[in-house]
């Protein structure tokens, strides 16, 4: 009898877990919609910005010589921005991002380059503390919730400041690229100095080769470019944060979906075990009665 | 009407604030206010914090607060890229007033140190002032 009760208790426990995972799945789904729409609404700004920046950069050419563009001759210190989520229960999401960070840091250490960190998200911060990496700054409560462009511009400003002061020679960012609902991959990108590749890419996107060629620029093309370059960092930072947020919710949704399915499977097999045990108990009881009756007869 | 309209787009990272036809667009460029009509020469400029206005297709004057950024004028289209923008009717006066008080307090505390915080507070002050100024013109004529 005790066994039956045990199984029953287990079934109800799994049932409750399932309710929780299902609820989390739905919450993640609605947050995902929010994050996705934020990504959507950022797109017009980002694409227009890239278009203008690309053609302007080509026009102003390399002689613009902004210090944000020129690579340092000797790279000794690198600053890494690690975007993770604040909360767990989202499958391998944070583990993947952190693994990427680990391999990045190891690779740089082999080249005798120091790495310092800024982390967005609690999980990344906790990891840094655990392995004893110095974090310059930890931003908590941004990834996964609603945030504005000012978040990106404020921390982007600090990054540029540190870069110009020579606190570090390069800035890289690790974030989760949102590829599809089922696929989010950790991605490393160089923010500073602004790689020429970025500009080349944006050039390709800019429609028409003569575009902007004859623009009058005020104050001057170089000055406008000088205003735009720091903003391009904010734009990239903001989009990385948006992607990480969206990816977090998508990852959590998938993880919770799997958990709910696992709960269903478990409930099925537990119910089967329960029914078998119940049947066995009934059979045993019946045997007892039949045995007793036989004994009386005899 | 024979005159043609120009397309105006005001884009922020959060949303597209304006996407409509305008007869004329006036915006505060960093070298002074400028106006754009249809057929304007391709033109690119940085913007100051302040108010821009335009006449919509019905000839009604519309005002928008813009937080700096860039403007690109093409013969048939003006695009304003800014980090934040609000139509005059959408300005939250209470919030702007609070921001103003906060910025003034911080400026008083910071004193004359010309560091990052000081500059930031100054920019916040400027934004709040322009927002309030623009919001106060609500309902006065146009």
CB < 8 Å to B29, chain A = 218
The pLDDT tens digits for B58-96 are: 889 999 999 989 898 888 889 999 989 989 888 888 888
* A225/A212 Cα distance (integer angstroms): 13
What is the model's pLDDT at position A204? Answer: 55
Domains by residue range for chain B, with CATH: 6-88 (2.60.15.10), 91-136 (1.20.5.440)
Q: Give the tokens for residue A192.
A: 């500073």
Phi-psi region of A172 (alpha: psi -120 to 50; beta: other; left: phi over 0): beta
* Token pair 């959408």: residue: B90
For chain A, the structural domain boundaries read 2-26+256-297, 29-254
Q: Is the pLDDT of residue B47 over 90?
A: yes
Of residues B31, B42, B45, nearest to A212 (C-beta): B42
Closest-CA distance of chain B to residue A38, Å: 7
Q: Is the pLDDT of residue A207 over 80?
A: no
Residue B142 — very low, low, confident or very high, per pLDDT cuts 50/70/90? Answer: very low
Q: Is the pLDDT of residue B3 over 70?
A: no
Interface of B with A in 29-88 (CB under 8 A): 29-31, 41-46, 70, 72, 79, 81, 83-84
How far, rounded to the nearest angstrom, does the alpha carbon of residue B50 sit from its chain's CA centroid?
5
Cut 0.90: pTM above it: no
Ordered alpha helix ranges (H), chain B: 93-110, 116-136
Residue A9 — very low, low, confident or very high, per pLDDT cuts 50/70/90? Answer: very high
Note whether B40 and B76 are within 8 A (CB): no
Question: Looking at the domain covering A2-26+256-297, what would its CATH class be?
Answer: mainly alpha
A:B CB pairs within 8 Å: 72
CB < 8 Å to B13, chain A = 41-42, 45-46, 148-149, 235, 238
The pLDDT tens digits for A219-244 are: 887 788 888 888 889 999 999 999 99
Q: Is A240 on the interface with B (CB under 8 A)?
A: no
The pLDDT tens digits for A150-197 are: 888 888 988 998 898 888 899 999 999 998 888 899 989 888 888 775
Q: Is B137 on the interface with A (CB under 8 A)?
A: no
What is the model's pLDDT at position A208? Answer: 47
Average pLDDT of the residues in B43-69: 91
ipTM over 0.85: no
Assign a CATH topology to domain A29-254. Pyruvate Kinase; Chain: A, domain 1 (3.40.1380)
Closest-CA distance of chain A to residue B56, Å: 22
């Amino acid at each position: 009898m005790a066994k039956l009760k045990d199984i029953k208790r287990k079934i109800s426990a799994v049932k409750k877990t399932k309710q929780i995972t299902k609820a989390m799945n739905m919450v993640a789904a609605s947050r995902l919609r929010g994050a996705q729409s934020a990504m959507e609404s950022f797109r017009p700004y980002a694409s227009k910005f890239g278009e203008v920046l690309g053609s302007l950069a080509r026009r102003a050419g390399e002689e613009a010589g902004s210090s944000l563009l020129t690579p340092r001759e000797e790279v000794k210190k690198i600053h890494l921005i690690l975007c993770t989520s604040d909360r767990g229960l989202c499958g391998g999401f944070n583990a993947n991002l952190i693994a990427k960070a680990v391999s990045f840091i190891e690779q740089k250490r082999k080249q005798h380059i120091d790495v310092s960190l800024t982390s967005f998200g609690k999980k990344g911060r906790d990891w840094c503390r655990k392995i004893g990496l110095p974090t310059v700054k930890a931003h908590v409560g941004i990834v996964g919730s609603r945030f504005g462009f000012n978040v990106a511009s404020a921390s982007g400003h600090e990054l540029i400041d540190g870069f110009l002061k020579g606190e570090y020679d390069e800035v890289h960012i690790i974030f989760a690229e949102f590829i599809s609902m089922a696929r989010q991959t950790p991605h490393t990108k160089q923010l500073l100095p602004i790689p020429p590749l970025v500009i080349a890419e944006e050039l390709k996107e800019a429609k028409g080769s003569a575009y902007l060629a004859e623009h009058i620029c005020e104050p001057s093309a170089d000055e406008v470019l000088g205003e735009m370059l720091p903003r391009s960092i904010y734009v990239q930072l903001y989009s990385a944060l948006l992607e990480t947020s969206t990816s977090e919710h998508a990852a959590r949704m998938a993880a919770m979906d799997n958990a709910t399915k696992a709960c269903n499977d478990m409930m099925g097999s537990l119910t089967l075990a329960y029914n078998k045990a119940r049947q066995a108990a009934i059979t045993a009881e019946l045997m007892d009665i039949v045995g007793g009756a036989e004994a009386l007869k005899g | 009407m024979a005159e043609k309209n120009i397309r105006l787009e005001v884009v922020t990272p959060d949303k597209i604030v304006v996407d409509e036809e305008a007869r004329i667009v006036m915006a505060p460029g960093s070298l002074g206010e400028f106006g754009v009509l249809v057929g304007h020469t391709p033109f690119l400029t940085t913007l100051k914090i302040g108010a821009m206005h335009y006449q919509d297709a019905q000839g009604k004057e519309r005002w928008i607060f813009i937080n700096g950024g860039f403007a690109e004028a093409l013969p048939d289209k003006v695009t304003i890229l800014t980090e934040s923008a609000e139509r005059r009717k959408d300005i939250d006066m209470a919030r702007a007033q609070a921001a103003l008080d906060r910025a003034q307090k911080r400026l008083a505390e910071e004193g004359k140190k010309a560091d990052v915080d000081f500059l930031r507070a100054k920019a916040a002050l400027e934004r709040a002032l322009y927002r309030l100024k623009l919001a106060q013109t609500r309902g006065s004529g146009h």
